[in-house]
Structure 1
């Protein structure tokens, strides 16, 4: 199976982290990760998302021979447009996280980066019909590029917010609401003991299912 991950922002280090997590999740797959060189360095709010969409669509239209494409921004930047433009299944890491939480039977919270991202995420959750399963969407107060660096202070802040989602909001699972958090999942799981869902890995498994179903039905 060939999966193509598209990072809607222009930060290559984040793309590398996404690729590493995807390959660990699906070692038998051929994973390609692309960076949107025309996008902003980070997607923090709707304006950044809108600015990233044209570059995302150019990358989607250039993909050939993929079994599935994953939009690797938690806001699912340009997901609907990418699905309309592609000839294979296209998933978002936000979408995949919510679906995985529901498959696990867990009421979920999302821990994301900055408060400006909360309305976008809440809107996506509502539009997909998952609002009833969502306990909360919390901002860590950390910028995306700071999360990507993964410093000890960043990890401690995220762990604290994850525990608050469990203890204060009653979350049975916490979704890591930024692609830059995906490489930190193992450490954060060990620190908190909370069931964590990272969308990069969830998307790999769901993309395999979608691609397999398309092949079966064709």
Structure 2
């Protein structure tokens, strides 16, 4: 089984962290290809970044689909362009926020999200509503660490993340923690050991969800709004993205 894990930002180091987490989680019969675009934002930290990053990400899904990839993981906690990617793909496409929240709801009656910046909390709030998790999500905490700060000052980032996770556990009674950034994917086991509760990285569980769905012979519905995009000719810079063209 071939699974492409897409980091929609351009950070090669973050893609390495994401790819390592995905490979550790995958079963032996799965081949993981972790990739990032060559153009776009180096980190996704707001709505504008998400919008810009979606276009090259969709191109990567389209090209992977043409080359026989069995499923995709969108490794950004905002799940940018998720339904658009599902329109393009035949196999399952899973977002890491979607995967992590559903996994947390299966492991605890309540979970909290610990993410990077305060301004991204509203994105997480919207996803909580979208995924029907309002009854499960106790709170959303921001560490006020820029995404690339997770790479630049790992020690300080660790201390801040642990602090917020403890706060979620002790103040909210959260039975599980969802990490709200793909750049935290390498911290889950240490945090689980530190806190004594499940700490969930969406990259790992998304890979397993893709494996489960594809392994069960299930594909993305092509009835209704997730049908392939309606063929038409785009103009100008986006002509290469015209539906039906490769």
With the shorter chain as reference, the TM-score category is over 0.9
Matches of 2:70 and 2:151, distance apart in 1 = 28
Q: TM-score, normalised by structure 1?
A: 0.95
2:162 is equivalent to residue 159 of structure 1: yes
Aligned to 1:61: 62
After TM superposition, the structure 1 stretch with the greater mean CA deviation from structure 2, 101-110 or 45-54, is 101-110
Matches of 1:150 and 1:132, distance apart in 2 = 35
Higher-Rg structure is: 2
- The total of aligned residue pairs comes to 216
Residue 104 (structure 1) shift? 1.8
Matches of 2:33 and 2:212, distance apart in 1 = 18
Aligned to 2:18: 18
Aligned to 2:136: 133
Matches of 2:195 and 2:153, distance apart in 1 = 16
Matches of 2:139 and 2:9, distance apart in 1 = 26
Is the Cα contact below 8 Å between 1:185 and 1:196 reproduced in 2?
yes
2:2 is equivalent to residue 2 of structure 1: yes
Structure 1: 5+ residue stretches without partners? none
Matches of 1:89 and 1:203, distance apart in 2 = 10
Moved over 3 A (4+): none
Residue 189 (structure 1) shift? 2.1
Is the Cα contact below 8 Å between 1:10 and 1:40 reproduced in 2?
yes
Is the Cα contact below 8 Å between 1:22 and 1:201 reproduced in 2?
yes
Aligned to 2:122: 119
Aligned to 1:183: 186
Aligned to 1:49: 50
Is the Cα contact below 8 Å between 1:108 and 1:172 reproduced in 2?
yes
Give the SS at the match of 2:112: strand
Q: 1:91 aligns with which of 91, 94, 118?
A: 94
Aligned to 1:39: 40
After superposition, residues 95-114 of structure 1 pair within 5 angstroms as 95-114=98-117
After superposition, residues 67-78 of structure 1 pair within 5 angstroms as 67-78=70-81
Aligned to 2:206: 203
Q: Indicate how the Cα distance of structure 1 residues 20 and 150 shifts in structure 2: closer, same or farther if over 3 A, else same.
A: farther
Q: What root-mean-square deviation, in Å, do the aligned CA atoms of Structure 1 and Structure 2 show?
A: 1.4
Deviations 1:159-180 (A, max 9, x none): 0100000111121100011000
Is the Cα contact below 8 Å between 1:163 and 1:194 reproduced in 2?
no
Aligned to 2:176: 173
Residue 138 (structure 1) shift? 0.7
Aligned to 2:31: 30
Matches of 1:37 and 1:111, distance apart in 2 = 28
